């Protein structure tokens, strides 16, 4: 559940021409910004940089962290078996910049175990969410609140998310956001959708996977 998303008006999915046919290079303004912010290509599409990772860490039960029992935890995490069962650790939070451009206009569909706070910095875009029960939600992000755009939004844990940039003059058809994840980002909490088949099955509501699904989303 997220008021910021649930209260955002539903929007039709109409892909701009440069989303269907990406440009070969970003416009000058966005190219300069990629250099200034030292952004790198993201596997999801677009560009990003992690700008903060809390030095403080919290213990998480491995069942919640989706680390298979008896397997080695990755990254900075460590596993300890104690009275609370097997636990692993996560940083309290992480913060990234994320940029979509006409040359890399799509954030490919994926989900994270944890809810992610998104804060718009500049430009316009559209999000498509697919919930574990197959419900689909699409909404626009931008600063024209009267037109139904939202400028910050929270995607619940376990919900698939894709995004694409929308046409805008003020930011050369770009979309720049900040994302905060609590507890902090780890690849093991992140899953790309396996393909169109999974999307079809999920949205047809005949199939439900409760893997990586927070019951209180
Ligand atoms: N490394 C690769 N992708 C991500 C991401 O989405 N967030 C963070 N914090 N780090 C990443």
pLDDT in tens, the chain (217 residues): 899 999 999 999 999 999 999 999 999 999 999 999 999 999 999 999 999 999 999 999 876 665 443 434 444 555 666 666 789 999 999 999 999 999 999 999 999 999 999 999 999 999 999 999 999 999 999 999 999 999 999 999 999 999 999 999 999 999 999 999 999 999 999 999 999 999 999 988 654 555 444 444 4
Nearest CA to ligand 1 atom 4: 185
Give the separation between CA 158 and CA 153, rounded to whole angstroms: 15
Check if 185 has its Cβ closer than 6 Å to any atom of ligand 1.
Answer: yes
* Per-position b or e across 49-66, b if 16+ CB within 10 A of its CB: eeeebeeebeebebeebe
Helix (H) or strand (E) holding 130: strand 125-130
Check if 47 has its Cβ closer than 6 Å to any atom of ligand 1.
Answer: no
Q: Enter the tokens of residue 194.
A: 């396996």
Nearest CA to ligand 1 atom 5: 185
Give the separation between CA 127 and CA 146, rounded to whole angstroms: 18
What residues form DSSP beta bridges with 96? 50, 179
Please state the pTM of the whole predicted model.
0.87
Helix (H) or strand (E) holding 32: helix 28-36
Check if 96 has its Cβ closer than 6 Å to any atom of ligand 1.
Answer: yes
**Amino acid 215: pLDDT:** 46
* Residue range 20-50, pLDDT digits in tens: 999 999 999 999 999 999 999 999 999 999 9
Check if 139 has its Cβ closer than 6 Å to any atom of ligand 1.
Answer: no
Nearest CA to ligand 1 atom 3: 42
Check if 97 has its Cβ closer than 6 Å to any atom of ligand 1.
Answer: no
Q: Enter the tokens of residue 29.
A: 């303004």
């Amino acid at each position: 559940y997220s008021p910021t998303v649930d209260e955002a008006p539903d929007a039709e999915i109409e892909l701009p021409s440069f989303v269907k046919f990406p440009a070969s290079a970003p416009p000058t303004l966005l190219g300069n910004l990629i250099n200034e912010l030292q952004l790198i290509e993201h596997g999801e599409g677009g560009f990003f940089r992690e700008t903060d990772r809390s030095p403080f860490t919290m213990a998480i039960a491995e069942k919640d962290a989706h680390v298979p029992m008896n397997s080695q935890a990755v990254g900075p995490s460590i596993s300890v078996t104690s009275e609370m069962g097997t636990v692993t650790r996560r940083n309290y939070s992480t913060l990234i910049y994320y940029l979509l451009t006409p040359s890399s206009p799509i954030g490919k569909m994926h989900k994270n175990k944890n809810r992610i706070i998104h804060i718009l910095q500049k430009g316009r875009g559209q999000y498509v969410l697919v919930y574990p029960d197959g419900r689909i939600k699409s909404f626009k992000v931008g600063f024209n609140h009267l037109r139904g755009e939202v400028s910050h939004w929270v995607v619940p844990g376990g919900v698939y998310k894709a995004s694409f940039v929308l046409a805008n003059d003020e930011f050369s058809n770009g979309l720049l956001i900040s994302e905060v994840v609590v507890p902090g980002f780890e690849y093991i909490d992140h899953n790309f959708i396996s393909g169109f088949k999974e999307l079809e099955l999920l949205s047809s509501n005949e199939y439900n996977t409760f893997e990586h699904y927070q019951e209180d989303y």
